[in-house]
Amino acid sequence: MTDATSADPEKDAPRDTPWDRLSGSPQDFAEGVQVENSGDFAAVPDAFQRLWTPHRMVYIQDGQQPHPDDCPFCIAPSMDDEKALIVARGRYAYVLLNLFPYNSGHLLVCPYRHVATYDEATPEEVAEIGSLTQVAMRVLKATSGCDGFNLGMNQGRIAGAGIAEHLHQHIVPRWALDSNFFPIIAGTKAIPKLLGEVRREVAEGWPVSTA
């Protein structure tokens, strides 16, 4: 039996808080961000904690996670720009946001054709992938004030390509101080902006005459 005048806050603490339903402590919940210790799960624990991002369900529920047998970079151009996270369309290649960004504004430049490696791209595709990359860098600098970029193509699964069957160039904007120990010690990336917001900013900042 408890009453409102009890001096035992531990005993009288509300029992319906998130940390009561889970195994963490209130200290695990910083600024409303819920982080669980994977060692407390009933399943086999791994080294990673989880940063729950339910807002990303909208991308999954909108059908942007096609069947693994389908190629997302072939499907995306048939969708509208907002749903496919496309920021610009060229003649031979197009630019879209990475659904799993390393940083806010992480873009991918893809040829429309389903080719796996850079040496399979035509001269026209190579040229337009290059020019779209240049424009993307200018737009990201203008819209996000980034301090630098990582550009790169992972060729083949062994080299780290997530979707190895369809060529794509990564454009990752970088800011001073954007690296920290969070990914290393927590196995988690903090992405400060939602994808839809970034897509709109980059698409609106894209010059009209680049296609």
By CB under 5 A, what part of segment 21-60 binds Zn ion?
A: none
Q: Does 94 contact Zn ion by CB under 5 A?
A: no
Restricted to residues 106-165, the positions that interact with Zn ion (CB under 5 A) are 114
Residue 191 near Zn ion by CB under 5 A: no
Instruction: Tell me the H-state helices in the chain.
Output: 9-12, 18-21, 57-59, 72-75, 81-84, 123-144, 182-186, 195-205
> Of the two residues 73 and 206, which places its CB atom closer to Zn ion in the complex?
73
Residues 97-116 that bind Zn ion (CB under 5 A): 114
Residues 44-69 as b/e (b if ≥16 CB within 10 A, e otherwise) read eeeeebebeeeeeeebeeeebeeeee
Q: Is 75 in the site for Zn ion (CB under 5 A)?
A: no
Piece in contact with Zn ion (CB under 5 A), picked from 32-40, 45-53, 71-79, 196-204 = 71-79
* Residue 98 annotated as part of some ligand binding site: yes
Q: Percentages helix, strand, coil for the chain, rounded to the nearest 5? A: 40, 15, 45
Binding residue for Zn ion (CB under 5 A) from 101, 132, 166, 167? 166
Binding residue for Zn ion (CB under 5 A) from 35, 71, 115, 194?
A: 71
Active-site residue set = 168
Binding site per annotation, positions for substrate: 98, 170
